[in-house]
Amino acid sequence: MVRILSQSIIDASHWTYKRVTYEMPLDGQTRHISREIFDRGDAAAVLLYNSARGTIILTQQFRLPAFLNGGEPHLLEVCAGGVETGDPHETVLRETREETGFVLKEARKVFECYMSPGSMTEKITFFIAPYEPEDRKEQGGGLAEEGEHIEVIELPFKTAIAKLAAGEIKDAKTILLLQYAQINGVF
């Protein structure tokens, strides 16, 4: 049985970064282990697709961590955001509207996963959602007060898969949803 011995907050200026010390049985002994954990809450992501046209909607925006790691800082990504209300479905509807201007009629949950369970508590719920061009009711582009400047990109699904194969798409959420769409015959 795992028992939490202590938790201390290292920083909580934006999200919570903490050190957790716990004990657990390991190799017939009780071990004390300490880890630093990043708790940014859960998230939800959605791939917008149009089967008849063979297209998807992605976003592109500057990502500081990718820049700091020496990579291309303007990543192609599916719409995603933090779950603020406890409802991942509501989150993808809100984030899609904010980021792309599309107002979704539906979004179907396809899976959940932890992106980096060794250091982060974040669980992402993944969705796919059909769209039509007339579903774009607003400009999109993200929220200025959140420092977002998001470009909305519509491209053929086949082009996205080619970009994935060429290593041009590096966002894990996007990779997972593109592969889901490919494996499950969304197109």
DSSP string covering 65-96, please? HHHHTTS-SEEEE-EEEE-SSS-HHHHHHHHH
CA distance 137 to 118: 40
pLDDT one-digit tens code per residue, 16-31:
999 999 999 988 999 9
Question: Which residues, 6+ apart, have CB-to-CB distance to 62 below 8 Å?
Answer: 73, 74, 149
pLDDT one-digit tens code per residue, 53-97:
999 999 999 898 899 998 889 999 999 999 988 899 999 999 999
Q: Provide the pLDDT for residue 105.
A: 85
Give the residue extent of every domain in the chain.
Answer: 3-39, 43-183
Q: Provide the pLDDT for residue 144.
A: 63
pLDDT one-digit tens code per residue, 111-163:
999 999 999 999 999 999 999 999 998 777 766 666 677 899 999 999 999 99
CA distance 103 to 125: 19
Q: Provide the pLDDT for residue 85.
A: 85
Residues 7, 17: contact at Cβ < 8 Å?
no
52 has pLDDT over 90: yes
Q: Provide the pLDDT for residue 145.
A: 66
- Split at pLDDT 50, 70, 90, the class of 40 is confident
Q: Which CATH number applies to 43-183: 3.40.50.300, 3.90.79.10, 3.40.1280.10, 3.10.50.30? A: 3.90.79.10
